[in-house]
Amino acid sequence: MKSLADRIEQYLKVLIERSDCKTLEVQRTELAETFGCAPSQITYVLATRFTREEGFITESRRGGKGYVRIRRVDRETVPNAGVCSQEEAFARLEVLLKRGLLSRREVELLKCVMSQKVLGPMGLETDFLRAKMLHAVCELLNV
Amino acid sequence: MKSLADRIEQYLKVLIERSDCKTLEVQRTELAETFGCAPSQITYVLATRFTREEGFITESRRGGKGYVRIRRVDRETVPNAGVCSQEEAFARLEVLLKRGLLSRREVELLKCVMSQKVLGPMGLETDFLRAKMLHAVCELLNV
DNA sequence: AAAGTCAAAGTCAATAAAAGTCAAAAGGAG
DNA sequence: CTCCTTTTGACTTTTATTGACTTTGACTTT
């Protein structure tokens, strides 16, 4: 027995495969109407079936003429090394500052480049990536 | 379905690129008439899509023979949605160094954090990611 | 020159049209 | 029954669009 969510998922995936650039742009409300469900159902489908781990990146715009864009990207292999959340990374940078190994400005630069906002919709691997970045910095500093 | 604001934005950007000196002068009222909208809509488009951060400078004059002038200025920035190879990114960092906006050490820190080696086996998205990182740095530096 | 006129552009708040959030209710598999 | 997934709806936030009102500047009249 297929659920509504399953059917919406299927529908979107067909459209994406047919599209140029593996990119699809739809309106949440419109799609919800097509399937006769609540708009938040669409959000649910995107959140559970079009995640970064599944190989999708979604972006959207609110307000008038808003949209949801789904892009299928090549799934990369995630080698399992360390992970590091934004908070953790920021804290470690502050430590390096305290120890006099980085200047305030350097910390700010690195923070902005490691922020969740920038690493953006890359999903879980964000933390993996951040760990590698931090590691590289420490190596450069010989610490 | 593009919004009106999107269409006006696109229209203006085409005209700017075609123009000499990347500079365009239009009349707000006239443009509004062309698109059949309120003049304040033009103001809105300028305020949200032709900001300094996006790489544009706008000037204007009220009253008789008034105008709006839009100039695209050079940014060392990669558009937020663009892509950027390691070589390109490194070159841009060097430019920022030459311009005195970053120190040698800061450049090295950023290079190591943006290197292919660190961003690792992320495939195509590496370039996507690097563009976002560079964009964030430029934003922080206000350039 | 000072004042008045008119044609610009600017401001701002109201309204509309999306998408996001989150918790609660409903379903379904064991 | 219990747990996990699905589905919904009330509420929030963001973006777009408009229109009434304000400010500015060139030109005209006194």
Identify the pLDDT of residue A134: 93
Residues 6+ apart with CB under 8 A from B89: B111, B114, B130, B133, B134
Q: What is the model's pTM?
A: 0.70
Set out the domains of chain A in order of their start, with CATH numbers.
4-72 (3.30.56.130), 86-140 (no CATH)
Identify the pLDDT of residue B143: 72
3-state helix, strand, coil in chain A (%, to 5): 55, 10, 35
Contact B132 A118 (CB under 8 A): yes
Residue A133 to residue B117: CA distance in whole angstroms: 10
Radius of gyration of chain B (CA): 19
Considering only CA atoms, name the residue closest to the C1' of nucleotide D7: A41
Identify the pLDDT of residue B76: 55
Radius of gyration of chain A (CA): 20
Residue B109 to residue A141: CA distance in whole angstroms: 9
Query: Is A68 in contact with A16 (CB distance < 8 Å)?
Result: no
Considering only CA atoms, name the residue closest to the C1' of nucleotide C5: B64
**Which run of H or E residues covers position B68?**
strand B67-72
- Residues contacting nucleic strand D by the 7 Å CB criterion are A 3-6, 37-38, 40-41, 44, 48, 61-66; B 3-6, 37-38, 40-41, 44, 48, 61-65
3-state helix, strand, coil in chain B (%, to 5): 55, 10, 30
Residue B3 to residue B45: CA distance in whole angstroms: 11
- The DSSP 8-state label assigned to residue A76 in this structure reads P
Residue with the two structure tokens 């953006």: A120
Residue A129 to residue B118: CA distance in whole angstroms: 8
Question: Integer distance in angstroms from CA B33 to C1' C4?
Answer: 29
d(CA B77, nearest CA chain A) in Å: 14
Contact A129 B120 (CB under 8 A): yes
Does residue B135 have a pLDDT over 80? yes
Tell me the CB-side half-sphere exposure of residue A75, using CA atoms within 13 A.
8
Which position has the higher pLDDT, B140 or A41?
A: A41
Other CB atoms within 10 A of residue A75 CB: 12
- The DSSP 8-state label assigned to residue B124 in this structure reads T
d(CA B2, nearest CA chain A) in Å: 7
Identify the pLDDT of residue A77: 44
Cα four-point dihedral sign A33, A38, A42, A45: negative
pLDDT in tens, B69-127: 999 887 655 555 567 889 999 999 999 898 888 999 999 999 999 999 888 765 557 88
pLDDT in tens, B8-66: 999 999 999 899 889 999 999 999 999 999 999 999 999 999 998 778 999 999 988 99
Tens-level pLDDT at each residue, chain A (143 residues): 789 999 999 999 999 999 988 899 999 999 999 999 999 999 999 999 999 888 898 999 999 999 999 998 776 544 445 778 788 888 899 999 988 899 999 999 999 999 877 876 555 577 888 889 999 999 898 87
- The DSSP 8-state label assigned to residue A27 in this structure reads -
Contact B115 A108 (CB under 8 A): no
Identify the pLDDT of residue A80: 45
Q: Pull the structure tokens for residue B71.
A: 């100039």
Contact B132 A120 (CB under 8 A): yes
